Amino acid sequence: MFFSVEYRLSPDFKFPVPLEDSYSALKFINDNCKELFVDSKKIIVAGDSAGGNIAAVLSIMAREDNNLNIIYQILLYPVTDGSKNYESWIENAEGYILSSNLMNWFYELYLTSDEERNDWRVSPILTEDLSNLPPSYIVTVLSDILRDEGRDYASKLKEAGNNVQHIEYDNAVHGFMSWPLDIKITKKAIEDLSKSIKKIIS
């Protein structure tokens, strides 16, 4: 069973509304698992780009809730650190779908001030304690401004004692997993991800 949460969007609904909507949806699914034919012991959160940010933050929020059991977080080229610009922001500033100017514009739409970039719910990499989180499947892309923060988040999770599978594709760009499945790299990435999910839920 899959659920795609239609959370309220910025700029009409700025941070933290999208996160709060997503967490409420997660709680609703968990609390009504029987009616929704969901196994509450096998809940997975997933997202790409900004959605990857939400999935990462939900996993941290759910850790404090004894009634929630997220067994896997799938973070596809996620936004994990808005507090600084990494080398990949300079290296891949233009020409690879997601530009640095576009990303900064997204932050302007989402946040009410630049200070909020230091909030762990915007930058989960800044979370004081990243231990005891669900196993992670993290995808980064070589030619992507978000590459370095994705790499760093994977490293931080590992350092905190979590199980992390990090895969980086060097022949794609941001958003490539949404390309048609008849494209070789997309097909391979989906197959890799599917195998990891089967392993987790088996």
- Tell me the average pLDDT of the chain: 96
Q: What is the pTM of this model?
A: 0.96
CA distance 195 to 107: 34
* Relative orientation angle of helices 17-31 and 50-63, to the nearest 10 degrees: 60
Query: Does residue 66 have a pLDDT over 90?
Result: no
User: Of the listed 81, 88, 148, 174, which one is catalytic?
Assistant: 174
The CA-atom distances, in angstroms, between 60 and each of 63, 183, 184 are 5, 34, 34
**For a pLDDT cut of 70, what percent of the chain falls above it?**
100
- pLDDT confidence tier of residue 1, bands split at 50, 70 and 90: confident
The predicted model gives 173-199 an average pLDDT of: 95
- pLDDT confidence tier of residue 19, bands split at 50, 70 and 90: very high
Q: What is the pLDDT at residue 101?
A: 95
- pLDDT confidence tier of residue 85, bands split at 50, 70 and 90: confident
* CATH of range 17-201; options 1.10.1330.10, 3.40.50.1820, 2.70.98.10, 1.10.10.10: 3.40.50.1820
Q: What is the pLDDT at residue 202?
A: 87
Q: DSSP readout, 83-126?
A: SS--HHHHHTSSSSSS-HHHHHHHHHHH-SSGGGGGSTTT-GGG
User: Of the listed 22, 49, 88, 136, which one is catalytic?
Assistant: 49
Question: Could you tell me the two tokens for 55?
Answer: 């999935």
Residue-wise pLDDT tens digits, 117-128: 999 999 999 999
166 catalytic residue (yes or no): no
Coil/strand/helix, residue 11: coil
Query: Does residue 183 have a pLDDT over 90?
Result: yes
22 catalytic residue (yes or no): no
CA distance 147 to 34: 39
Q: What is the pLDDT at residue 2?
A: 87
The predicted model gives 21-30 an average pLDDT of: 97
User: Of the listed 48, 81, 144, 148, which one is catalytic?
Assistant: 144
The C-alpha angle with vertex 25 and arms to 121 and 149, in degrees rounded to 5, equals: 30
